[in-house]
Chain A
Amino acid sequence: MRLAVSPENKPILIASLFVVAILFAGTAYTLSTTGTAPLLSPGYLLQQLQTGSFLGICAAGMMMVILLGHIDLSVPWTLTAAAMTATAVGGEWALPTALAVGLSVGLLNGFGVAFLRIPSMIFTLGVDTVLRGLMVAQTGGFAPQDSATPLMLYLAKERILGIPVAIFVWAATSIVIAVILTRTGFGRSIYATGSREAAAFLSGIRTRLVIVGAFVVSGLCAATAGILLAGYSAKAYQGMGNSFLLPAIAAVVLGGTHILGGRGRYAGTVVGVVLIVLLNSVLSIMQMPEAGRQIIYGAVIIGMLLVYGRNQRVTS
């Protein structure tokens, strides 16, 4: 009997199997060295998902942009700028300010890409550099002294019914993105624009506004991740977003989203994030040095894509 798996779900299935394989390999390792299986304990898994939620939220926003065939390289400093302004403003206005930062960055990115038609690769890179400049000028290049507000601490660190609140935030973000992508006209327009913008335009979709919208979602997601990360470390610091950009792109692609746009399911991105988070945590349990981690990390991406991410040859 052959299992029928649609091409859209194949990456998700394989990535999920790989997640299970990682868990087995890690558990086999810990059983053989210490005789315990911490990887399978719910507490440990929840803690991993809690730290993974920052990456998960970044990847959710990134996916919207990648579905259009664009990319958002401004995520690291959007995240940092949102966190820094939120801690600097403080009080009950901290969260709205951070989201406003994300919104404005998204609008700026969208304007540059959709209306000025500058390739997103370079425009968002420029925006990222400008944001970094603004933050360095603002903070003097040091970690700001302001600390996170109680609400930010709550969102990042507290638990409801034993489950970290950060996971709820990630879940809420995921539901919103999934609903947007599958149930709204905006979501359909994203897929259409990502497949072929000229055709989408001719069929009456206002593609420029769709692009702006996707970048705004990405900016908002980065800002949300910034709020959580600042709450998690109790303050904002320079370069706090640097380690999120490439893993976010990798998670989206590992989840089966096509890097040139038009194809991909949100569930895949979640699986991709879980894969990367668990891979990192198993490697750190094995006390793998940084060199080995990087090599394994790269090899896993290549290996997974060789299995299911291959393109058609261009022959016409």
Chain B
Amino acid sequence: MHQPAWKRWLQQNLGFASALLLLLTIYLVYNMLHPRGFSSAVAVQNANETAAIAFVAMAQTIPVLMGGLDLSVGAVMTLTNCIASEFVNGSPAEIVFGMIATLLAGTAFGLANGLIVVYGRIQPIIATLATGAIAIGLALIVRPKPGGDVDGDLGWALTNSVWDFADTYGLADGGDAWWLRPFADIPMPLIIVILVTVLVWVPFRRSVTGRTVYAIGSAEGAAFMSGLPIARAKIAAFTLAGFFAACGGLYLAIQTSSGNADLQQAGAYTLNSIAAVVLGGTSLLGGIGGAVASLVGAAILRVISFYFRILDIDPLLQPLIEGLVLLIAVSFGAIRTLRVKNKLDLFR
């Protein structure tokens, strides 16, 4: 039977498609309800608040695709946040060095996670629970008290629109070049997230290692018997998770110009990352989904909280509404149980 390509894509990505539709709808309604309507300033603010959790959600996605879970993403983000708050300042060369050191630290921590999971043969969920504690400990050593110093120009340039970025560094005639006009109002955080996605996630997904991550999530035994590089894929998955978490930590440091080794914050980011992954349509059983889907999931989580500001909801009710929305959204996954023809399929 011949099916149009889009129809098949829709069948294979039903979760992602509905999440995307949900995000577009609620973001559109949000902007219609916003007292000042759609504006670049609002978009910049929204993008700023979404970037860190978006990176952490992407980090969580890759171990989840493999059928595992990384409970250390929030802690690694906190660790890299503290490292960045220490090193990302001074001369331009020092700033670049600081950023690279931050990203490398997160990546190295992810690599350690991967090595423990593969060669230690410990379940990812419990191994990362332990390494998460270690990451928080290291973060506390780097930054015993909240604070820090991140280059102000960088902070301004990366957390505003493209025009401000060009203006700060005197690029493209201070942001007034004709070819920059169409992009001038796009928020920088959005560009950063998209750049990282396109440059890191998309090539990874298309590589043998990336395909193997999906294969492990679908059926590890079959992947092994097909001769796929299981160990390499697992290590790569956790390493990449560490890298994305470091992106989140670096961005948070640039945005807040400080670092904070906060255990609660780390836990909240980890749990929200799982929620974002699920909302985006990635299966916790592995094999289905992707980092782009988690970006959408993270954005949904954040847009829901944007509503509280414009709708004048009692702040005391906000956590309750957040929780109810999350619970109801994931309960839609129960529709699967209605379509199951053989009852045994329920127990996968």
Residues of chain A touching chain B, judged by Cβ–Cβ distance below 8 Å, are: 73, 112, 115-119, 121-123, 125-134, 136-137, 140-141, 197-198, 201-202, 207, 239, 242, 246, 249-250, 253, 259-260, 289-299, 301-302, 305-306, 309-316
Contact = CB atoms under 8 A, between A and B. Distances in A.
A302 B130 contact: yes
A298 B317 contact: no
B129 to A, nearest CB: 6
A291 B141 contact: yes
A283 to B, nearest CB: 11
Contact of B126 (A136, A295, A305, A313): A305
Contact of A298 (B137, B220, B264): B137
Interface stretch (B100-108, B158-166, B241-249, B328-336): B328-336
Nearest to B315: A141
A253 B126 contact: yes
- Residue from B121, B126, B334 whose CB has the most chain A CB atoms within 10 Å: B126
Nearest to B279: A122
Contact of A294 (B137, B225, B267, B278): B137
Contact of A306 (B120, B129, B327, B330): B120
B324 A130 contact: yes
Interface of B: 69, 116, 120-123, 125-127, 129-134, 136-141, 144, 220-221, 224-225, 230, 264, 267, 271, 274-275, 278, 284-285, 316-324, 326-327, 330-331, 333-334, 336-337, 343-344, 346-347
Contact of A116 (B121, B321, B334): B334
Contact of A198 (B134, B144, B275, B344): B344
A302 B327 contact: no
B82 to A, nearest CB: 11
Contact of B121 (A259, A289, A313): A313
B20 to A, nearest CB: 19
Nearest to A198: B347
A309 B122 contact: yes
A316 B222 CA distance: 7
Given A291-B137, A294-B140, A310-B122, A201 B224 contact: no
A130 B318 CA distance: 10
Contact of A126 (B138, B140, B323, B344): B323
Contacts of B344: 198, 201-202
A301 B140 contact: no
A130 B331 contact: no
Contact of A127 (B320, B327, B346): B327
28 contacts: A73-B271, A112-B331, A116-B337, A117-B336, A123-B327, A125-B275, A125-B326, A129-B319, A130-B320, A130-B323, A131-B323, A136-B319, A242-B264, A250-B129, A250-B130, A289-B140, A291-B139, A295-B133, A295-B137, A297-B133, A302-B122, A302-B127, A302-B130, A309-B123, A310-B120, A311-B122, A314-B221, A315-B224
Contacts of A140: 316
A151 B278 CA distance: 43
A310 B127 CA distance: 11
Given A122-B284, A291-B137, A305 B264 contact: no
Given A118-B334, A125-B274, A299 B134 contact: yes
A129 B326 CA distance: 8
B69 A133 contact: no
B138 A291 contact: yes
Given A140-B316, A305-B130, 16 more contacts: A112-B331, A118-B333, A126-B330, A127-B323, A130-B320, A137-B316, A137-B320, A250-B130, A291-B139, A293-B137, A294-B140, A298-B134, A302-B127, A302-B131, A310-B121, A316-B224
Contacts of B144: 289, 291
B130 A298 contact: yes
A242 B267 CA distance: 10
Contact of B331 (A118, A121, A136, A201): A118
B137 A316 contact: no
Given A294-B136, A298-B134, A122 B275 contact: yes
A133 B336 contact: no
Contacts of A239: 264
Contact of B337 (A73, A117, A197, A294): A117
Given A129-B319, A295-B138, A316-B221, A301 B126 contact: yes
Nearest to A303: B130
A105 B267 CA distance: 22
A293 B346 CA distance: 42
A289 B319 CA distance: 33
B141 to A, nearest CB: 5
A306 B122 contact: yes
Contact of B327 (A129, A292, A310): A129
A171 B134 CA distance: 32
B127 A132 contact: no
Contacts of B334: 115-118
- Residue from B122, B322, B344 whose CB has the most chain A CB atoms within 10 Å: B122
A291 B140 contact: yes
Contacts of A201: 343-344, 347
Contacts of B230: 314
A148 B318 CA distance: 28
A253 to B, nearest CB: 5
